[in-house]
């Protein structure tokens, strides 16, 4: 009888462990994704090509003919100007001006008013050396009339 009582105690102690094992096994099975056959007619979606290139900035272009036949091209976008002379390109920000459009990079400034403009050294007193003067906006030829 002692042996039967001892076996009963052992089984009673093992029963909760066996139950816990079944619960864990059930949870593990439930977490597995069900295996469903894939439809061979529909291939898996693949991501398309991506374009990580920014669109080109749109600049307004203005061509000027200056004294001595010098050419200057001014590109404007928002408050930024690119001024291209024969041998230099200057990137400038719009500066305060009482009259006309003034752009400066701290060393050189472009000052345009109406269809004219000039390029000069930028100095605190505003009396910098003139680099290119007498610039007049090139007008595109009138289109032929039908």
Model confidence over 62-117: pLDDT tens digits?
999 999 999 999 999 999 999 999 889 999 999 988 888 999 999 999 999 999 99
Q: How many domains does the chain have?
A: 2
**How many other CB atoms are found less than 10 A from the CB of residue 118?**
19
- Report yes or no on 133 lying in a domain: yes
Are 128 and 61 in contact, with CB atoms under 8 Å apart? Answer: no
Looking at the fold, whether 77 and 132 belong to one and the same domain comes out as yes
**Mean pLDDT in the chain?**
79
Element (H, E) at 64: strand 60-65
Are 87 and 73 in contact, with CB atoms under 8 Å apart? Answer: no
Structural domain boundaries, residue 4: 1-32
Q: Provide the whole-model pTM.
A: 0.58
- Report yes or no on 91 lying in a domain: yes
Rounded Cα gap, residues 103 and 39, in angstroms: 64
Q: Name the token pair of 73.
A: 């091209």
Looking at the fold, whether 68 and 26 belong to one and the same domain comes out as no
Looking at the fold, whether 64 and 133 belong to one and the same domain comes out as yes
Looking at the fold, whether 24 and 78 belong to one and the same domain comes out as no
- Report yes or no on 72 lying in a domain: yes
Q: Is 21 left (phi over 0), alpha (psi -120 to 50) or beta?
A: alpha
């Amino acid at each position: 009888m002692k042996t039967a009582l001892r076996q009963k105690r052992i089984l009673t102690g093992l029963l909760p462990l066996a139950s816990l094992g079944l619960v864990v096994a059930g949870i593990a099975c439930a977490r597995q994704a069900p295996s469903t056959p894939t439809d061979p007619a529909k291939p898996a979606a693949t991501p398309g090509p991506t374009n990580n290139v920014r669109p080109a900035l749109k600049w307004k272009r203005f061509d000027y003919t200056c004294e001595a036949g010098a050419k200057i091209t001014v590109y404007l976008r928002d408050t930024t100007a690119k001024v291209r002379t024969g041998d230099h390109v200057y990137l400038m920000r719009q500066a305060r001006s009482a009259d006309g459009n003034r752009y400066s990079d701290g060393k050189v400034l472009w000052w345009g008013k109406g269809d004219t403009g000039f390029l000069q050294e930028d100095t605190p007193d505003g009396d910098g050396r003139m680099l290119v003067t007498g610039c007049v906006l090139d007008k595109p030829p009138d289109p032929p009339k039908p």
